[in-house]
């Protein structure tokens, strides 16, 4: 077994907790060890939300408390409640996982570095990161960057798919609609938000809105910049989303393309496929960035293709956070 990669998690929301759950599932022989957690919530609240999860069910490991810390499967994890990481010592941490969703200034993004961590991985879009990297799409762009954005869950689903489609058949233009589960940014009952439509109760309506994935694709796949448009519809489910992608391609081969799409997915380390007539709940807990629904494949004429892919926007994205953390840590091995 290689060197254990030490992680600290800042922000124990949906992604922070899902990452910790995935590390626990890997067991004592897994490549990661979480050594520190930071959140403004009390440790008892963090413990409770880890134990009982409305989407993924009970925590798969043993959780105990030792003073103000957590002990998970016999390993003690330091827990702090610092709003700005002042006084928090992260010396020896290989990758600091910034999961608060607030790393929109360079000062915030660098807090993990100032606390002693070797590098920072941000769990969302961030214009102040050194680089935005999506596994399966632009890993070569990582270089020696120390503050890295892992983009968004939708970008992680879309970018590897677009890269593969473009390499195979030449994408001239495309439009993507993400059919996205509701998130914590939406109210449970009608309440004011910046976007009037997103002021409406999340579990009662389908809500048309925007997606950051379109702009992020321009960063991740710059050779496709200006050719991809996108929109989002938030829908009343708690987990698992989908990308509905229509492309115009230069070199579509004749005939049914479900088989070539399956081969494309199998050649990718982050894509999967299904031949079943699945519904969203069937894909909960799948670790791939996108799972192509082959029965939904449709072509119109010689150049237009519709591709439909599922993605667990929490589980799959968290799996990519760990993959990226491993890639970042390998540079210092």
Catalytic residue numbers read: 153
Question: What is d(CA 332, CA 117) in angstroms, rounded to the nearest whole number?
Answer: 12
For 154, phi and psi rounded to 5 degrees? Answer: -70, -40
Residues 134, 120 contacting (CB under 8 angstroms): no
For 151, phi and psi rounded to 5 degrees? Answer: 60, -150
Question: Two tokens at 119?
Answer: 């590098």
Handedness of CA 117, 123, 126, 129 (dihedral sign): positive
Question: Two tokens at 215?
Answer: 């702009």
Bridge partners of 8, per DSSP, are: 36, 96
Count other C-beta atoms under 10 Å from residue 209's C-beta: 15
The strand pair at 69-72 and 63-66 is best described as antiparallel
Question: Two tokens at 157?
Answer: 């689903």
């Amino acid at each position: 077994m290689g060197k254990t990669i030490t992680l600290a998690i800042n922000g124990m929301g949906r992604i922070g907790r899902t990452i910790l759950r995935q590390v626990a599932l890997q067991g004592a022989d897994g490549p990661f060890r979480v050594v520190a957690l930071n959140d403004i919530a009390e440790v008892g609240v963090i413990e409770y939300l880890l134990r009982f999860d409305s989407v993924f069910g009970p925590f798969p490991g043993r959780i105990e408390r030792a003073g103000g810390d957590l002990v998970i499967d016999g390993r003690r994890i330091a827990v702090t409640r610092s709003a700005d990481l002042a006084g928090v010592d992260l010396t020896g941490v290989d990758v600091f996982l910034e999961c608060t969703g607030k790393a929109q200034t360079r000062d915030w993004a660098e807090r993990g570095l100032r606390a002693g961590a070797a590098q920072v991985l941000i769990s969302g879009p961030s214009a102040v990161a050194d680089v935005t990297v999506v596994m399966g799409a632009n890993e070569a762009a990582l270089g020696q960057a120390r503050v890295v954005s892992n983009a968004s869950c939708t970008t992680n689903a879309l970018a590897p798919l677009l890269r593969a489609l473009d390499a195979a058949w030449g994408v001239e233009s495309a439009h993507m609609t993400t059919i996205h589960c509701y998130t914590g940014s939406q109210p449970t009952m009608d309440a004011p938000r910046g976007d009037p439509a997103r002021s409406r109760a999340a579990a009662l309506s389908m809500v048309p809105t925007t997606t950051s994935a379109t702009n992020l694709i321009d960063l991740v796949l710059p050779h496709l910049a200006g050719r991809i448009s996108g929109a989002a519809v938030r829908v009343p489910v708690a987990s698992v989303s989908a990308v509905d992608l229509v492309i115009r391609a230069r070199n579509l081969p004749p005939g049914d393309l479900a088989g070539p799409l399956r081969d494309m997915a199998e050649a990718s380390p982050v894509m999967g496929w299904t031949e079943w007539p699945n519904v969203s709940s069937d894909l909960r807990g799948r670790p791939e960035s996108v799972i192509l629904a082959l029965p939904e494949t449709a072509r119109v004429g010689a150049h237009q293709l519709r591709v439909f892919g599922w993605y667990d926007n929490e589980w799959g994205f968290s799996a990519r956070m760990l993959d990226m953390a491993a890639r970042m840590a390998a540079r210092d091995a």
